[in-house]
Amino acid sequence: MLVDNLLQHAQQKCQQAGGRFTDKRRNILDNLIKAKQPLSAYDLTELYNQSNAPKIQPMSVYRILDFFIEMELVHKLPTLNKYVVCSHLACKHNHQDQYFVICKACGSAQEVTMNAQLTQELSESASTVGFQITDAQFELFGLCKGCADKTNI
Ligand SMILES: [Zn+2]
Ligand SMILES: [Zn+2]
Ligand SMILES: [Zn+2]
């Protein structure tokens, strides 16, 4: 899907939720959509400042990213302290639980829908030690298809 289409969907989602889609927000999201790999807030600050004046501060980028996370347009990868655009940016359905598979060779990250049964089993398993899971965040490391194919040649 074209970047412009994705931005349009993002704008709609923001506006439906009563949030403004400012030029700064649009620009940050645009850079994250175009990125081949997860980016940190500092990467995004640098990208923004390369082509915009006045410059933006990292603190503002963090705030913008928090807004996008709240809107479910962006996800944070806590292990890497980096961000990726939600792969369901243009979808109409409710966002389900997700996990990420991250390639150790090329650094790409892909969002995978967590099946409800697995979430349920994890909750039951954690409850055996009296624990209640509130935030299930998973990042699994391995090789993406492209990199696995290369190593198999
Ligand atoms: Zn998502
Ligand atoms: Zn979807
Ligand atoms: Zn890879």
Partnered with residue 139 across adjacent β-strands are: 100
Report pLDDT for 147: 95
Partnered with residue 39 across adjacent β-strands are: 83
1 burial via Cβ count (<10 Å: 0-12, 13-18, 19+): exposed
Closest ligand to the CA of 111: 1
CA of 75 to the centre of ligand 2 (A): 14
Give the residue extent of every domain in the chain: 1-88, 96-153
Comparing C-alpha atoms, which of 37, 66, 38, 43 is closest to residue 56? Answer: 43
CA of 57 to the centre of ligand 1 (A): 26
pLDDT digits (tens, 9 = 90+) for 10-52: 999 999 989 999 999 999 999 999 998 999 999 999 999 999 9
Domains 1-88 and 96-153 share a fold: no
CA of 125 to the centre of ligand 3 (A): 32
Spell out the CATH class of 1-88: mainly alpha
Look over the chain and give the mean of its residue pLDDT values, rounded to a whole number.
93
pLDDT digits (tens, 9 = 90+) for 62-94: 999 999 999 999 999 999 999 999 999 988 888
pLDDT digits (tens, 9 = 90+) for 85-122: 999 998 888 888 899 999 999 999 999 999 889 989 99
CATH of domain 96-153: 3.30.1490.190
